Structure 1
């Protein structure tokens, strides 16, 4: 099953439990338009609510992930009412993406710049080509980091690297991004599809309820202190123990021993 956004700026394909959302403006390195914000909002919401979707993949067409926001977006955001509307849509789909209970994988080839990079970083796992170019150039053009970058960067790589990326706009390769902990893995370009397939297979074998609850816990507990984390775990664990997935896995393990 496949459907597209207007002018095919966004492709959505659902096949065998995997929903792939592809940014599809390769002639401008998949730069994001206001229209695409609404299409992303709809596609991400549908993937979250679709019981047949087990894994969500984000990628770009034409050998690049995303060069950031299109210049038309910057023009439209100069009008306060239009800016409020567009930014509300962005905040909605970014929040939905970040809090998606299902596994989310971003596949980064070519460039992932600005809003494009931060869109990818909301995935659970980013697989990038070793020669991909990642950059946060906002300050260089007189803007601040957006798409949740101010939230993500210090949490992923710490304050020192967050400042290098966000304040200096330093370009890094996919290989460096893995080394500093910004992404899950960097692989040679020819191995990207193989790596994606292996990761999809891995996450699909995991108990979905336990995955969703653990992912939620990592988001909730990271900066709320040990006492909060212990209380949250105490609240969640009994329901997971009673869940059919856990019971089935325990029975299977007992049969093997």
Structure 2
């Protein structure tokens, strides 16, 4: 849209001085199958543009809380919709992980949880407003987790910390996230000032003479990781665990999801408690 248009849109792309800004704002941070597919289409468009830095997010609202439990609960086939939503979310995260021709920054102006955190971790740098809270786990919904978390989380914080974060299932402040390596940069700005500050930081990153070297190093590292264990293998393993949960009518996920959506006690349903479950 022309700059003077004020038409509302939940996904927008703009470009300035070699920097692409792909902003999105979905109510409550939940991302349905349709949201994920539309955002992936926008992301693919952004990759056709001549930029050296691409910023995802940057608004003051939620970044992302992963799959859309309300849409899933309202579906005539919640298991099938859960699966479709997860596949769409994985497609989006994988596209970010496979981007090697520019630096991608995830700018979190608000909270993020579950697959939304993993979407952020797929970027090269994570910039987080100091007042935000992250929930990098799935266990409270009775889920193992997906969105390449078994690749992205350990490579940032180490296997031991990744195990603790996903098993304890506790919220993480922005400050703690920065201390443990989950976040690269804390942005000390008021919510209304976050976008402007992100633009300033992105301009500095784009002007950094070391940027071409970093992009080359990124592509080399991704190739080395792919040779060691392909992303397709991470995806296949995670999705197998998730599919087994989605299509098991007795899995706690279904009661936990329904209780969450309706804001009622979950009763006898319990999150995953088996060893290694998330």
Instruction: Name the TM-score class by shorter chain.
Output: 0.7 to 0.9
Preserved CA contact (<8 Å) 2:62 2:110 = yes
1:6-155 equivalences under 5 Å are 8-25=9-26, 28-51=27-50, 53-59=51-57, 61-75=59-73, 78-80=78-80, 85-100=84-99, 101-155=101-155
CA offset at residue 184 of structure 1?
Answer: 0.8
- Summarize the Cα distance change of 1:118–1:200 in structure 2 as closer, same or farther, 3 Å threshold: farther
Structure 1 unaligned residues grouped into runs of 5+:
226-257
> SS at 1:8's partner residue?
coil
Preserved CA contact (<8 Å) 1:2 1:14 = no
Preserved CA contact (<8 Å) 2:29 2:112 = no
Number of paired residues? Answer: 220
CA RMSD of aligned residues (A): 3.0
Answer 1 or 2: higher relative contact order, Cα 8 Å, separation at least 6. Answer: 2
- Summarize the Cα distance change of 1:85–1:171 in structure 2 as closer, same or farther, 3 Å threshold: closer
> SS at 1:36's partner residue?
helix
State the partner residue of 1:178. 178
Distance across 1 between alignment mates of 2:60 and 2:127 = 17
State the partner residue of 2:234. none
Distance across 1 between alignment mates of 2:158 and 2:207 = 30
Q: Which runs of 4+ in 1 moved over 6 A?
A: none
Specify which structure has the higher proportion of helix: 1
Distance across 1 between alignment mates of 2:30 and 2:136 = 14
